[in-house]
Amino acid sequence: MQTLAVDHPLVAHKLTTLRDVRTDSPTFRRLADELVTLLAYEATRDVRVTPATVQTPLTAAEGVQLASPKPLVVPILRAGLGMLDGMTRLLPTAEVGFLGMIRDEGTLQAQTYATRLPENLSGRQCYVLDPMLATGGTLAAAIKLLFDRGADDVTAICLLAAPEGLKYLEQAFEGSDAPIRVVTAAVDSHLNEQGFILPGLGDAGDRLYGVV
């Protein structure tokens, strides 16, 4: 598994405001959207392309186009939905599938309550969107579901990741042949006793959707 914490002053600037407890929901949504687009630029570095030739007004030019089958973007509801527009701005022709997952705040176990994905993902590159990688249980379950349907390459885009979650994923998919990448704006310090990322940004779903 590869982890990339994107080191860029604009990412750090936007993340700082996102963390700030005084940031209201509309601003939080806008910043999350902008951050995803910046992270997506790095996360799609290995997106598959094929050679293509176009005619310019003057002559032929060799270039590339996105390969087939096209990439699949999978936001994990609810909080991952706040990352979808930022991602599809960069990959407008990607197909979008949905996973609804919720972490039980007592046991910290993830449960899947909705699945709307293509049955066969063989040969597909998948981009999973979830702002918080905490214990890693949610993302591990999502990646397993994609692999079970034949996906052969998964990149997760997270706004924040905890070292515990990264380690959990590393162990869960140890020996897997398929590439797994995690692209994040920052790897934070650790989890607290309630499984929240510190310093973190609180409950991403609640902050996106105005619960607080």
Ligand X SMILES: O=P(O)(O)OC[C@H]1O[C@H](OP(=O)(O)OP(=O)(O)O)[C@H](O)[C@@H]1O
What separation, in Å, do the N-terminal and C-terminal C-alpha atoms of the chain show? 35
Task: Kindly state the tokens that stand for 96.
Answer: 């979008």
Which residue among 88, 96, 205, 209 contacts Mg ion (CB under 5 A)? 205
Which residue among 98, 147, 196, 209 contacts ligand URA (CB under 6 A)? 196
Task: Kindly state the tokens that stand for 42.
Answer: 């790095």
Nearer to Mg ion, 123 or 210 (CB): 210
In angstroms, the Cα distances linking 114 to 43, 98, 138, 154, 199 are 25, 8, 13, 20, 30
Q: Using CB distances below 5 to 8 A depending on partner kind, what does residue 47 bind out of ligand X, Mg ion, ligand URA, none?
A: none
Q: Which stretch binds Mg ion (CB under 5 A): 113-121, 141-149, 155-163, 203-211?
A: 203-211
Q: Is 132 in the site for ligand URA (CB under 6 A)?
A: yes
Q: Could you give the angle at which helices 163-172 and 137-148 cross, rounded to 10 degrees?
A: 30
Specify the 3-state DSSP secondary structure of 103.
Answer: strand
Q: Is 165 annotated as a binding residue?
A: no
Q: Is 203 in the site for Mg ion (CB under 5 A)?
A: yes
Question: Which residues are annotated as part of the binding site?
Answer: 78, 103, 130-138, 197, 202-204
Name the site residues for Mg ion (rule: CB under 5 A).
203, 205
